[in-house]
Structure 1
Amino acid sequence: MTLRLLPNQAYQKYYGFGASFTESSAWNLAAIPVELRKAVLTKLFSPTEGAGFSLTRTHINSSDYSNNHYTYVEEGDEDLSTFSINQDLRGFTGDENDQVRGVELVEASYDLIPMIKEALNIPGANFNIIASPWSPPSWMKTGETSTMTNGSLQPKYYGIWAEYLSKYISAYKEQGINLWGMTPQNEPLHYHDARWDSNGFTAEQGRDFLRDHLGPQLVKDGHLNLNDLEAGLRVLIYDHNKSTMNDYVAATYNDPEASKYAWGTAFHWYANSELDENNWYAKELSKLQKAWPNKGIIHSESSIDIDDKDPIGQYWRLSTDYAGTFIPFDTYAYDIITDLNHGTQGYVEWCVIVSTKEQPNPYDNFNSAPVLINPVTDEVIYTPLYYLLSHFSKFIRPVAYRIGLEGNQIDGIAYTAAKNPDGSMAIVVFNRNEKPSNVSMKLEDQIYNMQIAPRAMQTICLRSK
């Protein structure tokens, strides 16, 4: 196979690659020795000694990977006078739920915000954070099946919820954490049968909430700059499956008064068993990019169910979870490369860390992660997903942009290329075939010959003259 690199053919700018900070991730780090904890964060965020994760996400209020349900205000406080993010600062008691009870914590004062701040202090770390709410407080909602689960925000509380979210942005800023972006709602269409914190927003409700409440509130509080959406907090709408994203975002983008607040679209990959069959929804991505060329595109969540008896091997063999049967490593590789080749500007996995038993998570969820920790034995496992994501995060740095890469199509070979701010170029090639593939890389008048091993991902770094 011959690939021709075209460094002067520039496409979208990249904002980064990484995974998400959760309360569960912080709890697992609190259970291991401090030096080991720092080593894990170095492996995640150092661009020289680790993966150099550069785009991340976190949850506003509790999520499916929290120790229990929580919000930042007392029940019924419509004035938000009790608003406090102390829940993300206060540490752990060890009595939050049955999964954490009996596990000795090395540093009980550790928590979500300390985790983020420690990661920010890793030498060379350079990452941005997108924040997303899973659910408003229950007293603001109607139709719930249990605490903060299913149902939807009552319209009479739209204004208060907008103020609440803006206060969160301000409170994190006071902690020295400047959030890069936010989504108004995680998975707004998953609110009928969720087992964890969730909240429903139809496309029209999402549009109205952004246009009439959240957008104006963020502008009023100085978080969002309407003259330059790149200059302040970025609002990414939707934050759900890419298979149906075009139908959802149209309501907002077709309304100029709503669209002016929206920097772009965030999407998830679920249900991933459909991705191969539907060519990883490349047509949906192309449709989105063509219809709204001035809006950003970020993949904000993906995950697979863990096989805790074979957490490494499962990535290389047929695995079955809620979405069907597929080979996880192949699915991730093709999904990321397809996203990038169709205008996506960043890719974020769900939890950055969970335990080897996919915990703590009291909501019957079973995700794997780039890093698995046994909080009892202090064993740390870097899964194949960690190394897969590293091929992108380590070699395609923030403010890089995708460049042209032409070549003949060979079944089982996927590739993409980017040019970094320092002039270096990264070409990521994945060979999912059972035999090696010979590749000739042509750059200007130079030809570089190499071989990609069977079932392997390889990154080639080059510089033009």
Structure 2
Amino acid sequence: MRRINFIILIMTVAILTGCNEDQNKLNIEVYETSAKGNKLTELKKFEKKDSIVTIKLNPTEEFQTITGFGGAFTESSAYLLNNLSKPNRDTILQAYFAKEGANYSLTRTHMNSCDFSLNNYSYTPVEGDVNLEHFTIEEDMDDLIPMIKDALAFSEDGFKIFASPWSAAPWMKDNNSWVGGKLLPEYNDTWALFFSKYLDAYKKEGIEIWGFTVENEPHGNGNNWESMHFSPKEMTDFVQFHLGPKLEADGYGDKIILGYDQNRAGLKEWVDEMFRDEESSKYFHGTAIHWYESTYDYFPEDLQYAHNKAPNKYLIETEGCIDSQVPVWKDDAWYWKKEATDWGYDWAPEDQKHLHPKYSPVNRYARDIIGCLNNWVDGWVDWNMVLDRQGGPNWFENWCVAPVIVDPEKDEVYFTPLYHTMAHFSKFIRPEAKVIGLENSDDKLMATAAVNPDGSIAVVLFNEFETPKTVNLSLNEKNVEFSIDAQALQTIIISTKN
């Protein structure tokens, strides 16, 4: 009898201990993309590793509110989709926009042509048409607009679209060229009207535009493809005295205007001018940035400076891609190796060469997005969604890589590891999420976290090195242990049930 009672006591203690352990354990889902072949794969089993990292989440420490993640609608991408079979076209759009896919929430498109167009074109083809009576978006009707409409049909949650001009039509510019030059002062009001006309035209097609960047790369692009130069003061004056008032007068005062829209190293002088006083700040809703200044440095000090200058404004990364590079076809391993080179590898000045070493494409994306999120950036938008095996089409032959590569002649599609890298953020960190604080014991494991509107917490980890690690993750006196592989990106979802 005593033996039976003793056994019952032991079993009771074990059950109570197990219950207590369950109560103190975080309920998580872990998704991993890795050099070894995981592609947003849900992991259930973990092995203990020698290297141990502790990460403690602090949801009471809140930072920026997330606007979204996504990519750009370009004529090149839209043209390629039109040259695929309908099943493959639908597969790509579903992968980007459906809830079971990457669920993109923030997107960009171009106004007039850009380098990733099939040729130069303008919505204002008639020279001297100062009132834009002949404004037309006919060039967008075959490819670009159908792609956007189909994406909207696949998106259950919907997504924001902002538009960017690369250049006004040559007749409005001081050099009468698509490339370089400045807007002639006598066309300031005409160019402001251009933005309003664009909103009208796209609205007529059933497409709501959320906002604009004033000019793609106002410093220019080395006089290679469509561009139009602004100094910080020239752009700020244009927005304050022309664009802002025009949109307001035409009933579009709620549209978002983002200034700058180029690399981060020039950020300080731009935000100083854009937010120089209350009147100029009135029409700027935030700042747009690109990543081409470096393949590894995300410029945290510049990002923090921009935030502190305008803490209640948007700070959005509006363009990044693996540039000056022909894509590698159906070889996932290449995207994890330090073999890619960018424009700066060959052309950067000597004092800037160190910013452009050979790099791993996955590393570049994962490092930059996490680095941005940890330094006040609230949105991150990739460049072309779809390109071909050459890295085009591109009228200037400025080849680049996209997360999805296609071969229209063979009707084949390749989802590169860059697609899964983007999805780790866009799928799991939703608009209106709040970035939160965390303590990380290992500076070689990049980490960021955000609380979603539904209460779930998304933690993204990136281990770019060759050593797998065990992670002890804690939140509010609860914890859980799991592992991350070498060269791996993980998103951990902490359930609202905890």
Q: TM-score, normalised by structure 1?
A: 0.90
Partner of 1:283: 301
- Correspondence list, 1:291-440, <5 A: 291-305=309-323, 306-310=325-329, 312-318=332-338, 319-324=340-345, 325-411=358-444, 413-440=445-472
Pick which of 118-127 and 26-35 moved more: 118-127
Query: Displacement of 1:309 after TM fit?
Result: 4.3
2:206 to 165, 176, 200: 176
Partner of 1:39: 91
Q: Is the 8 A contact 2:440 2:447 kept in 1?
A: no
1:269 has 2:280 as partner: no
1:62 to 113, 118, 130: 113
Corresponding letter in the other structure for 1:72: Y
Q: Is the 8 A contact 1:307 1:314 kept in 2?
A: no
Corresponding letter in the other structure for 2:334: Q
Q: Is the 8 A contact 2:111 2:164 kept in 1?
A: yes
Structure 1, unpaired ranges of 5+: 92-110, 225-231
Which secondary structure state, in structure 2, belongs to the residue aligned with residue 142 of structure 1?
coil
Query: Displacement of 1:123 after TM fit?
Result: 4.7
Deviations 1:258-294 (A, max 9, x none): 2100100000011223x43xxx200111111122212
1:254 to 276, 281, 285: 276
What is the distance in 1 between the residues matched to 2:381 and 2:327?
A: 22
What is the distance in 1 between the residues matched to 2:397 and 2:153?
A: 34
Which secondary structure state, in structure 1, belongs to the residue aligned with residue 228 of structure 2?
coil
Corresponding letter in the other structure for 1:290: N
Deviations 1:378-399 (A, max 9, x none): 1111111111010000000111
Corresponding letter in the other structure for 2:315: I
Deviations 1:408-453 (A, max 9, x none): 2332x10100111111110000001101011000011211101000
What is the distance in 2 between the residues matched to 1:454 and 1:166?
A: 50
Q: Is the 8 A contact 2:451 2:457 kept in 1?
A: yes
Corresponding letter in the other structure for 1:159: D
What is the distance in 2 between the residues matched to 1:367 and 1:153?
A: 28
Corresponding letter in the other structure for 2:280: A
Q: Is the 8 A contact 2:469 2:484 kept in 1?
A: yes
Partner of 1:209: 238
Corresponding letter in the other structure for 2:375: H
Corresponding letter in the other structure for 1:175: E
Partner of 1:106: none
What is the distance in 2 between the residues matched to 1:361 and 1:254?
A: 38
Corresponding letter in the other structure for 2:276: N
Deviations 1:92-129 (A, max 9, x none): xxxxxxxxxxxxxxxxxxx1011001100015242111
What is the distance in 2 between the residues matched to 1:272 and 1:353?
A: 23
Q: Is the 8 A contact 1:119 1:125 kept in 2?
A: no
Between the two proteins, the alignment pairs up a number of residues equal to: 429
Which secondary structure state, in structure 1, belongs to the residue aligned with residue 322 of structure 2?
coil
Corresponding letter in the other structure for 1:396: I
What is the distance in 2 between the residues matched to 1:387 and 1:75?
A: 44
Give the greater-gyration-radius structure (CA).
2
Partner of 2:252: 223
Which secondary structure state, in structure 2, belongs to the residue aligned with residue 320 of structure 1?
coil
What is the distance in 2 between the residues matched to 1:71 and 1:184?
A: 16
1:138 to 170, 190, 195: 170
What is the distance in 2 between the residues matched to 1:343 and 1:361?
A: 33
Which secondary structure state, in structure 2, belongs to the residue aligned with residue 82 of structure 1?
coil
Q: TM-score, normalised by structure 2?
A: 0.84
Q: Is the 8 A contact 2:70 2:107 kept in 1?
A: yes
What is the distance in 2 between the residues matched to 1:440 and 1:393?
A: 25
Partner of 2:355: none
Partner of 1:20: 72
What is the distance in 1 between the residues matched to 2:242 and 2:332?
A: 45
Which secondary structure state, in structure 1, belongs to the residue aligned with residue 341 of structure 2?
strand
Partner of 1:114: 146
Partner of 1:161: 191
Deviations 1:3-58 (A, max 9, x none): 1112222211101111100000110000011122111100010122x111111100
For the aligned residue pairs, the C-alpha RMSD in angstroms reads 1.4
Which secondary structure state, in structure 2, belongs to the residue aligned with residue 117 of structure 1?
helix
Q: Is the 8 A contact 1:432 1:456 kept in 2?
A: yes
Corresponding letter in the other structure for 1:164: F
Which secondary structure state, in structure 2, belongs to the residue aligned with residue 387 of structure 1?
helix
| Distance change >3 Å, CA 244–CA 78, structure 1 → 2 | same
What is the distance in 2 between the residues matched to 1:222 and 1:313?
A: 51
What is the distance in 2 between the residues matched to 1:167 and 1:360?
A: 28
What is the distance in 1 between the residues matched to 2:438 and 2:223?
A: 42
- Higher RCO, 1 vs 2 (CA within 8 Å, ≥6 residues apart): 2
